[in-house]
Structure 1
């Protein structure tokens, strides 16, 4: 069996790189570790971290095709972030103009969760761990 150590990163392609960089850094609180323009691809690449841990590669590409997100399309369903206080996190997102779905309760764990979207409508989840 393959012995994986961890998930290294998640790659996200943005239709508007600057808007997505602002969303992930200024609204969600990621730290920009590095950023480079790749001339041959006419593409930006940013490495983003949560609490010092590299988590997301954010890319721009010229005219990327839209990805089907709804209804439940085959493939990656959503990206979930853990939070200690879901109500506090929702209030922060709401203050930044981000719309969250009503809070639900996970029927298996009893934990609270909600969904929201990034600027390209990538489905994101907040999952309360407290």
Structure 2
């Protein structure tokens, strides 16, 4: 059995980052935690207790579509981008999944916000992306 402990966050590709941030804050009480950017995209992490929603606005994104199998195109589809599960041992979890024949899409790497967190991506049985995240603390 893998060492998944809890749901860590859900990422949603949006068309208007500011409007979506305001909507989740206004309707559900989510609070801004931090912003970051990568080439071609801007993002905001929102929190409410232990719940986290990562909103991503990417250049060229479109409203949600059924095609979410290609890692290279998933950031351009609106709606839920991926499911993220927290783990306390990313390397061991990835090794167990790989041994079970699960496709590893992105091997363990550092999250690009200097937090010390590490992440990896796999595909589930429907080829949906699932992120595994090991917090630094």
* TM-score after normalising by structure 2: 0.45
Select the structure of larger CA radius of gyration: 1
TM-score with structure 1 setting the length: 0.48
Higher share in strand:
2
Report 1 or 2 for greater relative contact order, CA contacts < 8 Å, sequence distance ≥ 6.
2
